Amino acid sequence: MTRVLATATTALATLAGLAVLVGTRSWRCALRVLLDLLTAAGLLRLAVDQGWAELAAAAAIVLLRRMLWAALTGAAQPRLSAASSGQEDHHLPLR
């Protein structure tokens, strides 16, 4: 039953991604929806086949999804704030 649900989620993820693309005309938004739903399908498959290989595959899918999204949005590494980079914050009031 769960295997069928995972397969249906994968098929519906593609349809949902296409619907978002047509509705919003934003490929980034459509890709985000597609990747999130494919992650959900992978986790449903993990619920069926519980083993180290399946767990490693699910972790790889999540990591790939996060890396792809970070590369597309240009947010691969968070920027350091002035306080954490050792620079002084001169705009802060003194006590």
Residue pLDDT, tens place only, 50-75: 778 878 877 887 888 888 888 877 75
Name the more confident of 31 and 78.
Answer: 31
Q: Give the separation between CA 40 and CA 34, rounded to whole angstroms.
A: 10
Q: Half-sphere exposure of 58 toward its Cβ, with a 13 Å CA cutoff?
A: 18
Q: Is the pLDDT of residue 49 over 80?
A: no
Q: Half-sphere exposure of 64 toward its Cβ, with a 13 Å CA cutoff?
A: 10
Whole-prediction pTM: 0.61
Residue boundaries of the structural domains of the chain: 2-73
Residue 81 per-residue DSSP state: P
Q: Give the separation between CA 45 and CA 59, rounded to whole angstroms.
A: 12
Two tokens, residue 60 = 């790889």
